[in-house]
Structure 1
Amino acid sequence: MHRGKSHSFKDFVETQLRDLQSRFGMAMWFLARYRDDDWLLLNSFGEGYDLERGDLLRWRDTLCYQRVRERGPLICTDVSREPAYRDAPVTDQLGIGAYLGLPLTDHRGRLFGTLCALDPKPRPELDQDGAREALLRQAHLLETALVWNLAGLDQQRIAEFFEEESRDPDTDLLDMTGWGRILDQERERCRDYGLSAVVLRVHGDNLNPDDRAEVADSLAALIRHQDMAAYLGHDQFAVLLTENTPCRAEQVRERLLDALNAKGLLMRCEYEPLRTTPGLVQPEVLLNGAVH
């Protein structure tokens, strides 16, 4: 497994879930992310539940919420006998008879999510010597891979940006083709790790070549090293803010505009969440040409 390669981590997780089901049974196994008070499904293996990658559940409704707070056991062979799990809203919603749940932390020591499994029926055979210790070892292995990969994401982004050859010759920022590839690479990371990102559109009117170069230099200097900038023609620039939210993007927007305005560059800026649809051009206004 190569450091920071998100597709390798996805393959690794799928292999782990398949092996866990082979060893311990249970209808479906999941890697789930805790994000914005949601339970976000990143990977799954098995059958029995109408859940797939990208699905969201309300975090406080889930058995994982109870497990993270140690209100229920790691292995629950019969959910109907465990009040914390039995009374969780998701139990009736999904029809859960047995549950396994192991919290995972990220590279900063914060809760990332859970490795968990569900079965529609009770599974008394899971109450066996060594099962808990074996599951903890598997969770530690998965958590180690998770931490390793998360810690390498910024370096991966930087490498992809500098290796991207499709650039605007006047600003040396990404051009439309390079920008599209960078967006799709970040979308893959968002799907694999449950991340979110924001796209800024920075645009002006009738910029001369010197002003255009000044905007490009300013954007490159003002954003973080793991963020990326592009010039997309018609006096339109774009910035990808990785691992970011609209709330934080508003702060970046104001800082960029203040810095540009201070140089006499009167620009406008809007932002939108990065969507996970492959090949989608963002910001969408570019699909209709230049709009000022």
Structure 2
Amino acid sequence: MTTAQLLAKPFDRAGGIWELPDVSGCAPAEWLKFLQNYQQALQQVSRLHRNVLLVVVEDSFGLTQLPRRNQPQLAFHRYQQQLTQLDMLLFLSRVAPKADSAIERELYIHTVAALFPADAECALALLQEMPLTPEQITEFLEARQRERSWCSTTELPATNSDDAWSRGVDCYVDSRPIRHICAPAVASLAACVRQAQWLAQVRVLLPWIEQQRWQLLHNTELRHYLRTQLQETPYEKKFGEEPNMRVVKVSDPDRLEPAQMLYVLQRRHRPREGATTYLKSTKLHRKLETLLECRNEISHLSPLSENQIVSLLTVGE
């Protein structure tokens, strides 16, 4: 079995990606011969299960050692690729520029991956413009529509057809076909951007909020105070309605959500009429309220605004 045949052989029923980090030492004639052998070996593999060759090229390698697009000996073909969200995220993480913070960088990467789960060309172009506002991202998508002549009156091929794969209208993600976000049949671009932002915040911010809640419990005197209060009067979580309501008493601070933590603190600090509580003026109270507000916003299918994200990130400072 030749090297080309070995690389073309699928790992399992799903395709894979072979990364070639350096081909600068390979003569053009040998490189072209290998590509020809690899292309022939791929003909024996179903399009769904084919492996993708990823060639990493840096300026220091010297592009003169690689075949160019205008060389007639090298033919470029589009084919149905089976990708996953993780594949795209790994790719975007490697090429994304630095942002003001790691969280903002991850949010942008997840947003781009949600918009283009299999279109690496569009994803890379959007990353190079990082960071963009939702309005600017929408303008970017509209420009891509015009470039591909995908206007509202354009007749596109049927879903999951060979023509749809070859024209880039459809792609395969997580073993299911999806239509390109810039296709006219897709919902409004502004709504798609908002949905992508929300998905990114669910994947990035919700775990981060939970991490901050945990750190507040273990890095301050809050944990000891809450434990003392819960031992005296446990917090009651109620499930269902009468007459089948179930009540669970909580005495462990780790099981309290931000809203429940605030409730336990405030029931001990009920202000007299005309007075304010010490709790209201503390930085801890503001952090808990911020975590609660942002978590509720995301949980109700509403992405956070830029100002809300900035406010949320100050909790970790």
Bigger CA radius of gyration? 2
Higher strand proportion (structure 1 or 2): 1
Higher helix proportion (structure 1 or 2): 2
* Larger relative contact order, structure 1 or 2 (CA cutoff 8 Å, min sep 6): 1
Q: TM-score, normalised by structure 1?
A: 0.25
Q: TM-score, normalised by structure 2?
A: 0.24
